A and B are shown apart, each in its own frame.
Chain A
Amino acid sequence: MSERNGALVHIERVNKTFRRGAEEIHILSQLNLEVPQGEFLALMGPSGSGKTTLLNLIGGLDRPTSGSVRIGGDSIDQMSNRRLAAWRARHIGLVFQFYNLLPVLTAERNVELPLLLTGLSSSQRRRHVEAALSVVGLTHRAKHYPRTLSGGEQQRTGIARAIVTDPTLLLCDEPTGDLDRKSGDEILALLQALNREHGKTIIMVTHDPHASARATRTVYLDKGRLSSEKPE
């Protein structure tokens, strides 16, 4: 899944523009980014700088106005919506700030959701779910509904759901943004372990320097452009 030069994520001259009435708002301008396989990249920047937009482009949840987005050699900006949905199911694990668990399903059924898009049998799916819940240390809470779980446990469930299909790339949007410091640290430690021990490539959007310190590299987004230096 990696490209010839070793970059898993290859973003080239990407522009993203939104229209608000007659006004055109430039979110990303001529943006270039490469993320090698196995990297844990923190993406920082002020509110409204386009961090989540960039993450959505990488995850195939949004399309660039111009430029190319290649993930592991797949030009995802060229894909139809249908192909893109199938590609996401295979290659992307998503972790959300507010967990985005389905309230009517138990933790294990939430984790099972992405597996429903694969050809696995129910016993195979059950084994994968058990493994994912074991990795995040939540086996004992498998039968619980989200409303009975703490914030940290809900986010662990979200991470288990993101890794259950063994995706190429984990995209985390403010994964600790809704958690207290202790729970946040546990989640960051978990992400770090997934990167170091399981070799997962992770891109994490965060406001928190404490969180970005866990990453192997941090880039800053400001006024639609990326830099490796924190802006003034």
Chain B
Amino acid sequence: MINWLMQIVTLTRFSLGTVPQRKGAATAAAVGIGGVVAVLVGVLSIAEGFRAAMATTGDDDLVIVLRSGADSEMTSGLSREETRLIADAPGVARTADGPLASSELFVIINLLKRSTGTDANVPLRGVTNGAAVRGDIEIVEGRAFEPGRNEVMVGVGAARAFAGLEVGGRIRVAQVDWEVVGVFKGGGGAAESEIWTDAAVLQPAFQRGDSFQSVTARLTSPSAFATFKDALTTNPRLQVKVFKQSEYLAEQSSMLTGFIQSIGVFIAAMMALGAVFGALNTMFSAVAARAREMATLRALGFGSSPIIISVLLESVILAVAGGGAGALASYLAFDGFQAATINWQSFSQVAFAFSVTPPLLVFAILWAVAIGIVGGLFPAIRAARMPVATALREV
């Protein structure tokens, strides 16, 4: 076994030692693989950032209640009586001010995107107790809106992405001017893409009477979920469905995340096909250039399997070097890049940052390894199968 490993080490050292003699082809293959990895990381960092923006706020003890049959807040509707029953249900956390539940309205308004100057859908949320329930809302500029007034506070993502959302600015919604009085952070989650106001002011502006669309509540603990859910779903006065907020947001982002991931993998697969041919070409020429030396080693008694493994290792090392450079370039170019896109499931914009995460980098490097293995396999088999006596005559 030690001999076998020594053979592999020697052969790999020999193979890598000849790379400078083939630096043109080796660099082309490594750059090709690096390009594939850079694109893969770049595209998937969009999905990763979007998923993170949607999921960050999903604490396990936060729940959201919609009318049964509704797929999202957009299509849901709840009366004040229903929201009161939900807030009073067992399992909901309480403070001295009452239950930690917020009855909310969710409407879509039009604002101009700073980047393109075009119209975009932006979510405007009316809340009754939104900040207290979520717990991670932090005013970073200005102040919170005052109940009963046409004032809004905006998430940092929304403030960055859309025009007119500076503190002191005004937006015109439903024939009424609303003053922007503050900017808030929401733990990097979906709330940061939203504009918030008092639900009681939003209801008449959008002729919603005394209805809401959802209730977001904080439970006493994650384990209270079953009790809470059972109490609501068995109450004959309610027709609702109950989600953990993390599951709801994941489901709300699943379509776009899945689409971006599919596109990313598809593009990377197409590019990988090209890179495989590049690697094949490099490794075939490497094997051809070293045919006599490899035959000499086999004549001396070196086995076929160490030769196959050494060729594969060289290919994988080239691929990892190229892939690593591509991943690094992609990280430097894309990580933290700010963007906003429409979430088709809520028809509203979500502001998010491209996110090049460690698991994504590992995935990309594994992709490069796969390209290296596929690109090196056939040349490796060819090197091992070439008759020794024939290859020794190669000059």
Contact = CB atoms under 8 A, between A and B. Distances in A.
B389 A118 contact: no
Given A104-B13, A118-B3, 15 more contacts: A53-B389, A61-B392, A62-B388, A81-B304, A85-B301, A86-B301, A90-B301, A102-B293, A105-B14, A114-B300, A117-B3, A117-B300, A117-B302, A119-B2, A161-B300
A62 B2 CA distance: 28
Contacts of A81: 304
A88 B299 contact: yes
Interface size class of B (residues with CB under 8 A): 20 to 34
B94 interface: no
A113 to B, nearest CB: 6
Interface of B: 2-3, 6-7, 10, 13-14, 17-18, 292-293, 296-304, 387-389, 392, 395
Closest 7 pairs between A and B when the two form their complex, measured CB to CB: A89-B301, A104-B17, A100-B296, A62-B389, A56-B389, A116-B6, A88-B301
A85 B304 CA distance: 9
Contacts of A96: 296, 392
A94 interface: yes
A94 B7 CA distance: 18
A52 B388 CA distance: 13
12 contacts: A53-B389, A61-B389, A81-B304, A86-B301, A88-B299, A88-B300, A100-B296, A100-B392, A104-B13, A105-B17, A116-B3, A117-B302
B18 A117 contact: no
A117 B306 CA distance: 12
A114 B6 CA distance: 11
Nearest to A161: B300
A116 B300 CA distance: 10
A81 B302 CA distance: 11
Nearest to B296: A100
B14 A62 contact: no
A108 B70 CA distance: 78
A102 B14 contact: yes
Nearest to B391: A61
Contacts of B17: 104-105
A61 B298 CA distance: 9
A61 B6 CA distance: 22
A61 B302 contact: no
Contacts of B293: 100, 102-103
Interface residues of A, number: 28
Interface string A180-194: 000000000000000
Contact of A85 (B14, B18, B303): B303
A62 B6 CA distance: 26
Contacts of A113: 10, 297, 300
Interface string A80-112: 011001101110001010101011110000000
A81 to B, nearest CB: 7
Contacts of B13: 104
Query: In this complex, which of A56, A100, A102 has the most chain B Cβ atoms within 10 angstroms of its Cβ?
Result: A102
Nearest to B303: A85
Given A117-B3, A117-B301, A62 B387 contact: yes
Given A116-B3, A119-B3, A98 B395 contact: yes
Query: In this complex, which of B7, B300, B301, B388 has the most chain A Cβ atoms within 10 angstroms of its Cβ?
Result: B301
A117 B7 contact: yes
Contact of B298 (A52, A85, A105, A118): A85
A59 interface: yes
Contacts of B296: 96, 100, 102
B301 A114 contact: yes
B14 A89 contact: no
B123 to A, nearest CB: 63
Contacts of B304: 81, 85
Contacts of B3: 116-119
Interface in A44-66: 52-53, 56, 59, 61-62
A92 to B, nearest CB: 8
Given A85-B303, A104-B13, A117-B3, A61 B292 contact: no
Contacts of B395: 98
A94 B14 CA distance: 20
B172 to A, nearest CB: 74
Contact of B303 (A53, A62, A82): A82
